[in-house]
Amino acid sequence: MRYRDRREAGERLGEAIADAGVVVSGERALVLGIPRGGVPVAAVVAARLDADLDVLVAHKLGAPGNPEFAIGAVAEGGTTILDDGVITRYGIDDGYVAREIAAQRAHVEARAGMLRGVRPAIPVVGRVCIAVDDGVATGATLEAALRLLLTANAAQVVAAVPVGPPETLRRLAGIVDAVVCPLQPRTFFAVGGWYERFGQVSDAEVVAALEAFHRRAGEG
């Protein structure tokens, strides 16, 4: 089973969340898309659940000389997740880790402001918060976002992704109230392998998706 694109993934994920019963009838949830690829999925999910929509910006911490190899992740508000096993195994020194955290925190805060524009972040305190990405592999970036919601006193925190490996989903299930994932292949190489169309999503597309959603919701 594969998804045609992020829209179909959002439709199927929204149905799975509704079927899981994690949102009580009459309760308006807050769906938070992880930029970039998670936002088109989250917009469809929020429409399906009649929920509010916002972004939750997180970013991986890259290894020395290999920024795509994650040694952890940071999210808005300074939430930081470190993979101590990887850091120790590769002998990455504390000075590098501190500099990378500082750089990525600044990047995350700047991108969050740019993506939201003049619209302030929607408060998460006391809300049912559903963090949505277009898929999960190691889960470091999504975990940072989830831990931010936990420390921000959300009433309930749900991780929702269209596809992810069972071992990562089990780990995430240990820190949140619920995990929803319709497709959990045992053999997993990359998120994009489970989509027929999985092009890059630009910041401009994220902004457009948020603006379109809020226009439809009558929020300006």
pLDDT (tens digit, 9 = 90+) per residue, 30-86?
999 999 999 999 999 999 999 999 999 988 899 999 998 989 999 998 889 999 999
Task: Give the C-alpha distances (Å, rounded to integers) separating 212 from 3, 4, 122, 205.
Answer: 23, 22, 17, 10
List pLDDT tens digits, range 151-210.
899 999 999 999 999 999 999 999 999 999 999 999 999 999 999 999 999 999 999 999
Segment 92-100 long-range contacts (CB within 8 Å, at least 24 positions apart): 92/63, 92/64, 96/64, 97/61, 97/71, 97/72, 100/61, 100/62, 100/71
Tally of CB atoms within 10 A around 78: 12
CATH tag, 6-58+124-215: 3.40.50.2020
DSSP 3-state of 33: strand
Instruction: Please report which helix (H) or strand (E) contains residue 16, including its range.
Output: helix 6-20
Could you give the residue range(s) of every CATH 3.40.50.2020 domain in the chain? 6-58+124-215
Q: Where in the chain is the domain with CATH 3.30.1310.20?
A: 60-115
> CATH classification of 60-115, choosing from 2.40.50.140, 2.30.110.10, 1.20.120.1690, 3.30.1310.20?
3.30.1310.20
